[in-house]
Structures are given as C-alpha cells and as structure tokens.
Amino acid sequence: MFASSDSKAGKARADDPDRPLDSDGTAPPAPAPSPLEHEDRAMARQFTVRCAWDEAAGVFFVHDSPVPGLATEAPTMPALLCKLPGMIRELLDLDDSAYLDIYVERVKR
C-alpha cells in the first residue's frame, strides 16, 4: 500500500462516514478499555446450566441450574441459548450489561 504524504503516524483515514474525525480528516485512535471493563470480566458470574431434550414435547429445556427459578424451553438449542442470558440477569436482578459466563451441558433426561 502507498502512504499518503499528508497522513499522520498512528492515525488512519476513516472510511466510515459516521465515525468522528479530527480536524485533519483522520480518525482518532480507539480508546483503551477502561479498567472497570476488565474488572467486570474478571468478576464475571459463571453458571453451568444443564439442559435436556424432551422427545414428547419436541423441546430442549433447563433440567438443572444454580439460578433459582430458571425454567425455560425452546425448540432448538441455539434458541434456548439465546434466552438464557436475559433470563438469568432478570432472575438475579443484574444490570443488562453484567458480564456472564454461561456453560451449557446437555444431559440425558
């Protein structure tokens, strides 16, 4: 690639029209993640949810969970996985941005 003679070191031209630009037309460097963001991930709440397949109903369901009251079902495992974070945050009264590590084990019923 050829470097433009008017480009600044450490900055890139912004191709995205919605991205804010400095006065010289270059994009400022991305901000470093805040220390709190790293703390949130380090203090992530970890859960192992055991799910099973109900042949008669044709759904995957939560068989066992450390989260009190967690009970849901879905026709596919991906659909069930999409439901879990929101439900866990709601049941534990966590902020919508709370970082969760959710491990799912499929068990025989």
Q: What tens digit of pLDDT does each residue of 21-80 get?
A: 666 666 666 665 555 554 455 557 899 999 999 999 999 999 999 999 999 999 999 999
Separation of alpha carbons 19 and 27, rounded Å? 7
Q: Distances from the Cα of 49 to the Cαs of 43, 67, 71, 77, in angstroms?
A: 19, 9, 10, 12
Contacts of 21 (CB under 8 A, 6+ apart): 14, 27, 28
Q: Residue 93's pLDDT band (boundaries 50, 70, 90)? A: very high
Nearest CA to 99 out of 21, 51, 42 is that of 42
Separation of alpha carbons 92 and 68, rounded Å? 8
Q: Domain residues for 49?
A: 45-106
Residue 73 lies in a domain: yes
CATH number, domain with residue 69: 3.30.2390.10
Residue 18 lies in a domain: no
